[in-house]
Structure 1
Amino acid sequence: MTFARHDHCDDLDTLPRMPSRVTSGRVETLEDVAFLSGAALAHLHLVLGRDCVPQTLLRDRLALRAAEACVGFSGRPERAGELRDAVHLLRPGDLPGPAGAVCQSWQRAVERPVSIKVLGRALPTLVPGQIAAWLDAGKGAPVTRAAMVLEALVRETPRADVAGLILADAVLAQALCWDRVVPLLARGLKRADLRKQGDDLRLACHRALVSSAVEAVRLAADLARRTAHLKAVAPKLRAKGAGDAVEMLLSRDAVAPSALPLPDRAARRLCDRLVDLGAVRELTGRDTFRLYGV
């Protein structure tokens, strides 16, 4: 489903906080961890339904974090900054490289409602029939289904960690009636967890979802505050096209000035103005080839 936008947040402090029983839980059995992950996912569902949470931006930033985790699983050194560069500084016709391709896969997986076509664009090495089969492979509760798909795909398709994690998150989204993928599993799992099977993998997935859901709720609250400030200062911007530029910044993890619907010089001035107003951040620390984000 698309989350209902009926709860307006006039006071961002009213965003519900994750229950302490989830964040302080110290349990070991599969049943107890499953209870905590269910509580964490239910709370995340509640937070995602608040109209002050910028869902598109949240998914895009979670996609970056998932890509960073997947790149780490493969033993590559790229971190978030390098992944941003790999996808946002590409010239027409350029290829993103292995790490950038992982980041693009996650970005494409979250940008549209879950479907075979969308997942096929995110995972071009899999044919639609394969994707459909994987999505139907799991049975049972949401996390159990996701773990079964992850286990099956990683076991049967060598070097399929990224595809397995994207499809596992897609299965989880479908089971929870979320219309789009919310990247959660990759960030909470360890590399060794991907080789586990059966109950051991289910336990690892439940634990991963507890930690990832807690992190996602914190990120949602932070982005809600930041986007509220950006919207508050937007009327001060007089540049033609500033409104469209702000909308792009409200929906993307990072934006290069050249991607904004303004002339290059005006786009750079607008970004610097927003930094001065405390509404966006410059993400690279460089003097050139800069990227900006909420």
Structure 2
Amino acid sequence: MTFAQLDHICDFDTLPRMPAWVTSAGSDAPEDVAFLSGAALSHLHLVLGRAEVPQALLRDRLALRAAEACVGFSGRPERAGDLRDAIHLLRPGDLSGPAGEIYLSWRRLVGRPMSIKALGRALPAFEQGQIATWLDAGQGAPVGRAAMVLEAVLREAPRADVVGLILADAALAQALGWEQLVPLLAIGLKRADLRKHGEELRLACHRALISSAVEAARQAADLVRRAAHLKAVAPKLRAKGACDAVAMFLTRDAVAPSTLPLPDRAARRLCDRLVDLGAVRELTGRDTFRLYGV
């Protein structure tokens, strides 16, 4: 890849802002909550259609948020930094652990077009036929459809919170015509919401999508600015393989120097250079086993 080709990954522009009335409205009336969630999703749909948004990077970062929420639902102590370590510092033959497996499931799904086959690969404990049956349980408008899928999964497999949330987000994406899953419901729902049913669960999903769509849109705007700065400084990098390394930063939440297409010492120098230029951040706060991200 050349630096000229990088220009097509994220052309800087100003994204439309989420209307203030979406975030400031305080009504709890079901019809108002449903209206606001629809408005938030409609705005996010426009944002996701903008060429300047680094789509893969956004989905990967939202996958981390979704995994962190799911791990929290299970009562485990791991947080975002622990999940990054569990995956990005994994050595061949090592096991990622239960929390790492949750994160891997989300990452696998957001990294490729959505299909029953892709869902089956990410959720190997369940047959593809069962996954398809659960997805078919959702009918009607997008949010109601997602809520029905979540309820269907948890009715048959009460402890399968992660599976239910993944398939609910998959059902939502399908209903909205998105080719790839964007983690939203897992980020916005609360643990207590997963025990609700019928209209209560549907209303909880509407509330969750207001907050998570707003968060996703803000994250997209932030990543557009950060990616634009990374692209601006990229021509200053002289190391062979630097362009491909920059492309990796534009698609991944976190990058370990050892995964960059450079010798180890050159990779570490490149990461330090990018930090000095304000183009990437060191994410761990450690002196060793560092991870970097936009």
* TM-score (norm: length of structure 2): 0.95
Shift of 1:158: 2.9
Structure 2 counterparts to residues 197-236 of structure 1, below 5 A:
197-236=197-236
Corresponding residue number in structure 2 for 1:55: 55
Corresponding residue number in structure 2 for 1:3: none
Corresponding residue number in structure 2 for 1:124: 124
Please give the alpha-carbon distance, in whole angstroms, between the structure 2 residues aligned to 1:15 and 1:21: 17
Shift of 1:9: 5.8
Please give the alpha-carbon distance, in whole angstroms, between the structure 2 residues aligned to 1:266 and 1:58: 27
Structure 2 counterparts to residues 4-15 of structure 1, below 5 A:
10=12, 12=13, 14-15=14-15
Structure 2 counterparts to residues 254-265 of structure 1, below 5 A:
254-265=254-265
Matched, 1:28 2:31: no
**Structure 1 consecutive aligned stretches of length 4 or more whose deviation exceeds 4 Å:** none
Please give the alpha-carbon distance, in whole angstroms, between the structure 2 residues aligned to 1:26 and 1:109: 34
User: What amino acid maps onto 1:25 in structure 2?
Assistant: A
Please give the alpha-carbon distance, in whole angstroms, between the structure 1 residues aligned to 2:237 and 2:200: 54
Please give the alpha-carbon distance, in whole angstroms, between the structure 2 residues aligned to 1:132 and 1:193: 24
8 A contact 1:151–1:197 mirrored in 2: yes
Please give the alpha-carbon distance, in whole angstroms, between the structure 2 residues aligned to 1:293 and 1:23: 28
Shift of 1:94: 1.0
Deviations 1:255-294 (A, max 9, x none): 1000111111110000000000000000000000000000
Structure 2 counterparts to residues 1-294 of structure 1, below 5 A:
10=12, 12=13, 14-294=14-294
* TM-score (norm: length of structure 1): 0.95
Identity of aligned residues (%): 80
8 A contact 1:9–1:50 mirrored in 2: no
Deviations 1:91-114 (A, max 9, x none): 111110011011001101111111
User: What amino acid maps onto 1:105 in structure 2?
Assistant: S
Shift of 1:184: 0.3
Please give the alpha-carbon distance, in whole angstroms, between the structure 2 residues aligned to 1:15 and 1:121: 34
Please give the alpha-carbon distance, in whole angstroms, between the structure 2 residues aligned to 1:197 and 1:30: 15
User: What amino acid maps onto 2:75 in structure 1?
Assistant: G
Task: Give the length in aligned residue pairs.
Answer: 286
User: What amino acid maps onto 1:273 in structure 2?
Assistant: R
User: What amino acid maps onto 1:94 in structure 2?
Assistant: D
User: What amino acid maps onto 1:121 in structure 2?
Assistant: R
User: What amino acid maps onto 2:287 in structure 1?
Assistant: D
Deviations 1:225-255 (A, max 9, x none): 0000001101111101111111101000001
Q: What are the ranges of 5 or more consecutive residues in structure 1 without an aligned counterpart?
A: 1-5
8 A contact 2:254–2:292 mirrored in 1: yes
8 A contact 1:40–1:209 mirrored in 2: yes
8 A contact 2:11–2:228 mirrored in 1: no
Q: What are the ranges of 5 or more consecutive residues in structure 2 without an aligned counterpart?
A: 1-7
Q: Mean Cα displacement is larger for which, 205-214 or 134-143?
A: 134-143
Shift of 1:29: 2.1
Deviations 1:75-101 (A, max 9, x none): 111110000000101011111001101
Please give the alpha-carbon distance, in whole angstroms, between the structure 1 residues aligned to 2:29 and 2:198: 14
8 A contact 2:63–2:103 mirrored in 1: yes
Distance 1:91 1:9, change over 3 A: closer
Please give the alpha-carbon distance, in whole angstroms, between the structure 1 residues aligned to 2:152 and 2:134: 8
Deviations 1:205-224 (A, max 9, x none): 00000000000010000000
Please give the alpha-carbon distance, in whole angstroms, between the structure 2 residues aligned to 1:187 and 1:242: 34
Please give the alpha-carbon distance, in whole angstroms, between the structure 2 residues aligned to 1:26 and 1:175: 27
